[in-house]
């Protein structure tokens, strides 16, 4: 084990499959390089009635008065008992598969003792730099001050295709990011956002989930999820609409497949991640509107279509699809959807060569940051 101790700061490890798997993948990749690494778990804190009232008021002002449509004005506030029930399966995955630390311990800044436990901080992946998702300064390591800690980002994401920070916040972030040894981002548009707004050159790298192989993910479920999925057309739809249901019906009929989904209904227990992964393995076709739904379709080498949700941002989809020559798998307008795409095969043998080159490049970024 190398002496360097690494702490990864990413989005909270709660119940989002993509978030949990990117955290697992980055840690596994670094451990394979023989590094001592943990990931900030950011445990859920439960708000009192007055705290919930204040939070809801702030959200409603942001949404209705300031026009910040990315903010949820009416969030669900679970109590501890219901939260533990909802996250039973995902919490188990974190306990068993990811080495964690409560880095911030519920405070704005971590303690000095906690900071001094680590030599290196890696920021990412996921939407760590999205303003509405939390205190973004923490993910620019404002807690590090002028210390000699090594800091860099891996596949960090702003979450949106345009710049979201006001002039004052931009100046703060510009000052903080100067301390980074290197910056890498998940979306190609984010390279320009960094250059134009933070005056820094960033590298585009792959989402950490793509650094592992299909066999790595099969090993997660093969012994614990032996029961086959309930169909062969996997649908993973985060933002359900009647229009998307209509597309599911068309694909089901055209391809002669049976649709199934591995998702939780509101306020219900999230299915096991292993079952979600098994869904991609069993599927003959995947229909999704999720970035990580698209990613795992590629990892498991399945024919797929991904429906664009412009409010969630298009760059995350286009960055990867264009790099792999798969732009035609993105549906921007369901009404104009070309049915011929359903029978168009993806040449995964050709694609594999492109992907391996991108994986090597992304791993090289990590090695250069850690070793030099």
Q: How many CB atoms lie within 10 A of CB 124?
A: 28
What band does 326 get if pLDDT is binned at 50, 70 and 90?
Answer: very high
Pull the structure tokens for residue 169: 């916040």
Report the pLDDT value the prediction gives residue 87, as an integer from 0 to 100: 92
> Is 56 in contact with 75 (CB distance < 8 Å)?
yes
What band does 1 get if pLDDT is binned at 50, 70 and 90?
Answer: low
Encode pLDDT of 214-240 as tens digits.
999 999 999 999 999 999 999 999 999
Report the pLDDT value the prediction gives residue 331, as an integer from 0 to 100: 95
Segment 124-138 shows an average pLDDT of: 92
What residue ranges define each of the domains in the chain, with the CATH number in brackets?
Answer: 5-210+357-371 (3.40.50), 213-356 (3.40.50)
SS3 332: coil
> Is 348 in contact with 203 (CB distance < 8 Å)?
no
pLDDT at 4 over 90: no
What band does 3 get if pLDDT is binned at 50, 70 and 90?
Answer: low
Segment 138-150 shows an average pLDDT of: 93
pTM of the model: 0.91
pLDDT at 46 over 60: no
How far the first Cα of the chain sits from its last, in Å, is: 18
pLDDT at 71 over 90: no
Report the pLDDT value the prediction gives residue 109, as an integer from 0 to 100: 92
Segment 72-100 shows an average pLDDT of: 88
> Is 273 in contact with 20 (CB distance < 8 Å)?
yes
> Mean pLDDT score of the chain, rounded to an integer?
93
Report the pLDDT value the prediction gives residue 312, as an integer from 0 to 100: 78
Q: What is the C-alpha to C-alpha distance for residues 219 and 192, in angstroms, rounded to an integer?
A: 38
């Amino acid at each position: 084990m190398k002496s360097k101790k690494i702490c990864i700061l990413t989005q909270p490890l709660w119940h989002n499959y993509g978030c949990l798997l990117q955290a697992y993948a980055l840690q596994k990749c670094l451990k394979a390089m023989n590094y001592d690494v943990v990931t900030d778990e950011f445990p859920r804190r439960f708000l009192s009635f007055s705290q919930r009232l204040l939070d809801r008021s702030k959200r409603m002002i942001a949404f209705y008065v300031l026009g910040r449509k990315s903010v949820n004005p009416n969030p669900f506030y679970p109590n501890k008992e219901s939260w533990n029930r909802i996250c039973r399966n995902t919490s188990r995955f974190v306990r068993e598969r990811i080495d964690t630390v409560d880095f911030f311990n519920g405070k704005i800044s971590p303690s000095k003792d906690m900071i001094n436990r680590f030599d290196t901080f890696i920021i990412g992946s996921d939407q760590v730099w999205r303003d509405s998702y939390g205190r973004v300064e923490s993910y620019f390591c404002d807690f590090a001050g002028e210390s000699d800690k090594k800091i860099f980002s891996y596949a960090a994401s702003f979450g949106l295709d345009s710049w979201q920070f006001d002039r004052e916040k931009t100046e703060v972030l510009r000052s903080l990011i100067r301390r980074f040894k290197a910056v890498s981002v998940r979306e190609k548009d984010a390279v320009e956002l960094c250059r134009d707004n933070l005056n820094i050159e960033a590298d585009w790298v792959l989402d950490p989930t793509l650094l592992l192989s299909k066999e790595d993910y099969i090993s997660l479920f093969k012994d614990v999820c032996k029961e086959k999925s309930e169909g062969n057309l996997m649908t993973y739809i985060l933002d359900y609409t009647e229009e998307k249901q209509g597309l599911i019906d068309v694909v089901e009929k055209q391809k002669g497949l049976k649709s199934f989904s591995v998702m939780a209904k509101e306020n219900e227990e999230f299915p096991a991640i292993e079952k979600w992964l098994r869904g991609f393995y069993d599927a003959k076709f995947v229909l999704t509107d999720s970035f990580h739904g698209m990613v795992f379709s590629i990892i498991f080498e399945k024919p797929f279509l991904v429906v664009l949700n412009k409010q969630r941002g298009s760059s995350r989809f286009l960055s990867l699809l264009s790099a792999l020559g798969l732009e035609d798998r993105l549906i921007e307008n369901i009404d104009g959807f070309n049915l011929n795409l359903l029978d168009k095969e993806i040449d995964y043998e050709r694609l594999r060569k492109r992907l391996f080159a991108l994986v090597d490049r992304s791993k090289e970024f990590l090695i250069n940051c850690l070793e030099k």
